[in-house]
Amino acid sequence: MKIITREELKAKIDRGDEFTLFEVLPLMYWRKHHLPGAKSLPPTQVATVVRELVPDPAAEIVLYCWDDDCPTSGWAASELEAMGYTNVSEYSAGKKDWIDAGLPMRKD
């Protein structure tokens, strides 16, 4: 698993790069607000949701949760790699870092 910084992730979003961004927190937190383009990936549904939304194991996936102390995105990355996904990154600083930097959040 690779670590991606806020600057790298923001640049990917701004460029419109082809990748799937997942928030690895319970759905209620995603519904409150999430990073632009992020899909909800509840920790209890990692295998089923990712297989459905990202069937290609070589596709780029970026995962995040709340902050560096939140374990769910790192755990999900390990799960995905065990499932054969080969291009998984973690934005370990997470949602809190994005908000603290004053970057836009979405609610949809």
Structural domains in the chain plus CATH codes: 2-98 (3.40.250.10)
- Among all chains, which residue has been given the structure tokens 């769910």? 72
pLDDT attached to residue 1: 82
Print pLDDT tens along the chain (108 aa): 899 999 999 999 999 999 999 999 999 999 999 999 999 999 999 999 999 999 999 999 999 999 999 999 999 999 999 999 999 999 999 999 999 999 999 997
φ, ψ of residue 87 to 5 degrees: the values are: -130, 65
Report which secondary-structure segment, H or E, holds 29. Answer: helix 27-32
Q: Phi-psi region for residue 94, left (φ > 0), alpha (ψ -120 to 50) or beta?
A: left
pTM: 0.96
Q: How many residues can be counted in the chain? A: 108
